[in-house]
């Protein structure tokens, strides 16, 4: 059978406090009616009127009153309930307060219900914990939550295995979709985050020496792409992705040492290139100053010697050891 999309709607509801007080008053009246009919029947016998009154009182005490109590629902801020009536979607309640709804509806259990049941069983017989667990199983949280998935080993755009981990901040914005469109929206979100992470990481290299987008140098852009990818996949579950961030990024252990050497070599080359460019500029400035101020006239051979000496001094890793020439330079 083809799945029919479910549109979220608000069910009929009234003030729960008013129904609670009214039901208590009616049950008290029904109790008085039962006692009165029983007392009168001892003196005059059970007449049809007394039998009818006794039946009405007992029916309200045993059936109607408890059924009305079943329709009372309490919702805290940022909580929701999804109701079904005889197997069909009835409505979703997402307002904080005390309400009365159709007493024959049933709340769709949250995916956490099985975990709460296991925790309750482990704690032993505890009525307070049991009631809290049952209530939590019937409600779905609309608060912002954090998903911190395990680190994964993925190959980047250059085929290098890397270890990457992400954290996703999310919340449920449509409780109906979260409970009725997917079996377990927690697991669904986790799987979609893993899938989106693999798809995005394969598009970028770990590091880049030019202006190309990389995982290490363009984390903001990668995180935005990741957020959009996850959001696209989780619309069906009524989930909104608030933020996605990379929390861990490193090379896999089997190539970490080799990649560290490559990074060190790249850094040394870049530093040497900057030193050479600066040294050439200083030598050029020195020759121009000497020539412009007519301090000394040098032929091409002496200029070459001067350039060589200055470059050695400026580009050397160690301090230069000056040598004083007491004779003629020729």
**CATH of region 145-251, choose from 3.90.1310.10, 3.40.630.30, 3.40.718.10, 3.30.479.30:** 3.30.479.30
203 in Cβ contact with 224 (< 8 Å)? no
Q: How does pLDDT run across 12-61, given as a tens digit for each residue?
A: 899 999 999 999 999 999 999 888 888 877 777 778 888 888 888 899 99
The confidence score (pLDDT) of residue 117 equals: 47
For 110-147, the pLDDT digits (tens) are 876 444 444 444 455 554 544 544 555 688 989 999 99
CB neighbour list of residue 120: distance below 8 Å, 6 or more residues apart: 126, 129, 130, 133
167 in Cβ contact with 245 (< 8 Å) = yes
What's the CA gap between 139 and 128, in Å, rounded? 17
67 pLDDT band (50/70/90 cuts)? Answer: very high
- pLDDT tens per residue across span 161-196: 888 999 999 999 999 999 999 988 999 999 999 999
Q: What angle do CA 47, 23, 27 make, to 5 degrees?
A: 35
Instruction: Check: pTM over 0.85? Answer yes or no.
Output: no
Q: Which long-range contacts (CB under 8 A, 24 or more apart) does 285-290 make?
A: 286/310
The predicted structure's pLDDT at residue 319? 65
Q: What is the mean pLDDT of residues 155-162?
A: 86
Query: What pLDDT is attached to residue 239?
Result: 94
On average, the pLDDT of the chain sits at 81
DSSP strand pairing (140-141 vs 106-107) = unpaired
pLDDT at 134: 52
Cβ(230)–Cβ(181) below 8 Å: no
Tell me how far the alpha carbon of residue 229 is from its chain's centroid: 13
Helix ranges (H only) for the chain are 16-44, 48-59, 65-70, 113-123, 127-138, 175-180, 185-201, 219-234, 253-292, 300-315
33-46 exposure pattern, b = at least 16 Cβ within 10 A, e = fewer: bbeebeebeeeeee
Residue spans of the domains in the chain: they are 1-106, 109-140, 145-251, 256-315
Q: What is the pLDDT of residue 7?
A: 80
């Amino acid at each position: 059978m083809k799945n029919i999309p479910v549109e979220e709607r608000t069910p009929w509801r009234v003030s729960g406090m008013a129904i609670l007080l009214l039901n208590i008053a009616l049950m008290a009246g029904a109790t008085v009616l039962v006692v009165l009919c029983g007392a009168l029947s001892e003196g005059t016998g059970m007449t049809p009127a007394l039998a009818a009154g006794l039946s009405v009182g007992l029916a309200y005490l045993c059936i109607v009153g408890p059924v009305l109590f079943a329709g009372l629902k309490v919702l805290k801020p940022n909580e929701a309930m999804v109701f079904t009536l005889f197997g069909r979607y009835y409505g979703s309640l997402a307002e904080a307060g005390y309400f009365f709804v159709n007493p024959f509806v049933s709340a769709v259990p949250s995916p956490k219900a099985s975990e709460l049941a296991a925790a309750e069983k482990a704690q032993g017989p505890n009525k307070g914990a049991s009631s809290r667990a049952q209530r939590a199983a019937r409600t779905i949280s609309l608060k912002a939550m954090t998903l911190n998935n395990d680190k994964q080993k993925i190959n980047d755009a250059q085929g290098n295995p890397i270890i990457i981990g992400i954290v996703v901040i999310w919340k449920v914005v449509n409780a109906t979709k979260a409970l009725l469109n997917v079996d377990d929206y927690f697991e669904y979100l986790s799987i979609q985050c893993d899938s989106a992470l693999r798809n995005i990481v394969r598009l970028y290299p770990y590091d880049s020496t030019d202006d190309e987008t990389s995982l290490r140098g363009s984390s903001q852009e990668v995180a935005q792409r990741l957020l959009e990818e996850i959001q696209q996949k989780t619309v069906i579950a009524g989930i909104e992705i608030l933020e996605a961030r990379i929390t861990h990024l490193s090379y896999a252990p089997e190539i970490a040492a080799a990649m560290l050497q490559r990074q060190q070599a790249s850094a040394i080359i870049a530093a040497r290139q900057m030193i050479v460019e600066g040294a050439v500029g200083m030598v050029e400035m020195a020759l121009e100053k000497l020539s412009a101020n007519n301090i000394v006239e040098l032929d091409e051979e002496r200029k070459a010697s001067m350039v060589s000496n200055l470059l050695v001094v400026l580009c050397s890793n160690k301090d230069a050891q000056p040598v004083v020439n007491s004779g003629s330079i020729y």
